[in-house]
A and B are shown apart, each in its own frame.
Chain A
Amino acid sequence: MEFGLSEEQVMLAESLGGFLAERLPMGKFRTVAESGSGFDGELWSGLAAQGIMGIMVPEEFGGLGLSLLDAVVAAEALGYHAAPTPFAAALVMAPLALMGSGDRAQQKTWLPRIASGEVRIGLGFAGMSGQTGEAVGRLDGDRLSGRITAVLDGGSATHFMVYLQDGRAALFAAAGEPGVSVTTHRSLDRTRPVTELVLHDARATILGAANDPKAAATAVLDAGRVLLAGDTLGAAQSMFDKALLYSKERVQFNRVIGSFQAVKHTLADIITILEPCRSLVWYAAHAQAGPPAEARLAALQAKAHLGDAGREIARLSTEIHGGMGFTDLLGLHYWFKRIAFNRQLLGAPERCRHEAAIAQEWVS
């Protein structure tokens, strides 16, 4: 038994982190972020060269066939650099959905194209994710109608996937199909947009091969929750690191402010919240391959806990920067907003906890 990352996972974190630090200096980062599309072609090709595209695609379909914990390690690095790129839905949840609910032919068609970076799938849920907003989807044969807001990774998606209430998923192209209307909005988090889908009898491919479709859909949803928790973990670590550095450089009253207990204790509070978060997120990722009851509880509690912890760390880290933290100059707010975005997607803390109570049969 060993609780921690493998050497390969540590290397993945380091190499991806190094790549993102080099590719996203503040100037470049701002330009990409302010486009609001959550996508940059150059960054995407670079990520492809890093091997990220096929992280969850099995080897037989041209991917790396890694685990959700590997994906969470990558999510943490992406959150740390607030990377404006599709990931959670396009590169993790979509391949998981195809593996869980697609038939063999569908897997053969789609998975290699995900692994090559050619296909980017945005993903939404019609009424089970616990998000606010519209989430209505109806399937009539292979025709999909409905309206779904705040679809994940939709800014540059080539295709979309929508989970229906019964646990089946509908897959369709983003453009060129009659009945498909895609509107992408810049979001509070400039590094990732929100996309609204309006569908009128749009022709879709149905993923319906799961033995227990609802359980398969829930597994993908919960994996997404763990990924968002991992992204928040990285973003929160980044804000803490910036605050710690600032507290060692900024001088007031002839002392660096980190020597004042008011500031020192705040930093101690942050790290005391933050480090156990990492263990919880790692565990939740690992648990997704285990018994469903434990997997559900861990995913829901990780999403809920990181939502609250992330918000607290974001505020405290901003405060430590004083007035500068409130300005646009430092760009600290990009991380604050990244954390805020993750909190609301796929179920906010209160909603996830409520679901956790049901999952544990505390309430019916």
Chain B
Amino acid sequence: MNGDKKRTGARALVESLEKADVDMLFGYPGGQALDIFNCLTDAKFPFVLGRHEQGCVHMADGYARSTGKPGVCLVTSGPGATNTITGLATANIDGIPLVVITGQVPLALIGTDAFQEADTTGIARGVSKHCFLVQSADEIPETVAEAFYIATHGKPGPVVIDIPKNCQQGLTDAQYPERVSLRAYHPESAATTAQLHRMAKMVNEAKRPVIYAGGGVIASGAAKDVAALARRAGIPVATTLMGLGSFDERDPLSLRMAGMHGTPAANWAMNEADLIVALGVRFSDRVTGKISKYAPKAKIIHVDCDPAAIGKNVSAALGIVADVKDVLTTVLSRVKQAAHPEWIAKIDGWKSSHPVSWTQMHENVIMPQAVMESIDRATKGRAVVVTDVGQHQMWAAQHFRYSLPRHFLTSGGMGTMGFGIPAAIGAAFARPDHKTVAVCGDGGAQMTFEEVVVAVEHKLPVTFVIINNGCLGMVRQWQELFYGKNYSGSILTVKGRCGNERLEQDLDYDYLPDFVKLAQAHGAEAYRVIDPAKLDATIARAVKSKRTTLVEVIVEPRANVYPMIPAGRPVSEMVFK
């Protein structure tokens, strides 16, 4: 090609992102990304300016979780790049496709402790699926194509492209490749006929089967196929936290969520099952509890696209490395129509003796669980619910009834506080046809509250509900149950702090910050509810608003999440209050 076809690496990057079908870019500028930012104003996709790089990555993550498309984020070198690490780890453990582009100091300055220099690929390696350090402008189009391929093939995950400034400025005529062919990475794998035959046989012979569906079902788009298998073979379905929405929780076959804070029916069913059909799960310790006592009577069929997930935590009688949807669509015709009336009756007995419930601790106080039910009613169960991390996350998992995939977005594996607000913004950008409600605690909300501005300035009708119990509730709960009620570092109100925290005890305020004023300062419409009688009306008003709204709900601070299987303990040690 002749010289006048050449353009800068930065221009080639933006062109490549267009070719990769990017329809929104989240990010934050800085010195070593300026050449790229200079080209963004002509890009076919809009740019969303976050207020902190962690927020930008969580926005891209929320966008990816709600659409299945990779989220894309652009930041500068050094602190810009290091601020993405929490967001990368969050996406990595939950298998969320992201492409994160970081500026880097010019190649010639790498290793000289240059201004805003950090070894980004070195730092990001352990929290990402793959990292690229670009060596020349010519590499940029192909690297972008490979990054999108890697982010979305096999188990999805975040990919980092670190681009030194001189590569952004260098001239290249390299073109975006029509197809990607990686020499060493071939994650596609399919079930063998023998495996499908054996799977069908095990399902057909089972007397007490349970389907156990995880985030992989949602990633694979297999929710309808799970429902088809469950109905045909009469198998009840439990989900993981990440799998909420992969099976309609209003269906009589639903056991709802399993695990530490899962339903008794789900946990007891797995404990009694003779077959667990595990689909797109990784048998997290939050689900298995004491691993040697997990599902003692069950044979396990484990289907996952990640070969390293199979046999990692539990050993499977039949492990199938393949796409969940592919397996289910081909196995279905081999599975016999069945019902398991005795098994289902036993499970229905558990459901009615131990329903998902909660108790009002006092009059005149709002119980946090009631807030979830109120939101579920106000949105008719159709909202995209985004959570932060902690007690409210578990209450949101327990007290909404999820019926659709990609309607419950949460940081499952990493448990990243500060995820909720920005991820909800990303989800609201991605799905303007849906109402997005972020449920956050007062702790996590303070970690990334600055991003509320982004929702306001883009007129996103997101509702942020702050469940304010004046403490870091899950930490407080563990301290109450396992650390002799020594509430070290977990109380956010002035009253009730430990002596070593040295607060002035005569302050005339208790709850800080004032979330209503804080939201108003960010330009949002805001309400506070303390009176239980006003909860429903306020929530309904907020979710109907076309503006960005925030509702601060002052709730009972001593409410705990139950049921609970203490960490590392077997199902038999489930506690109910």
Whether A associates with B in a native complex is no
A residues near B, CB below 8 A? none
B residues near A, CB below 8 A? none
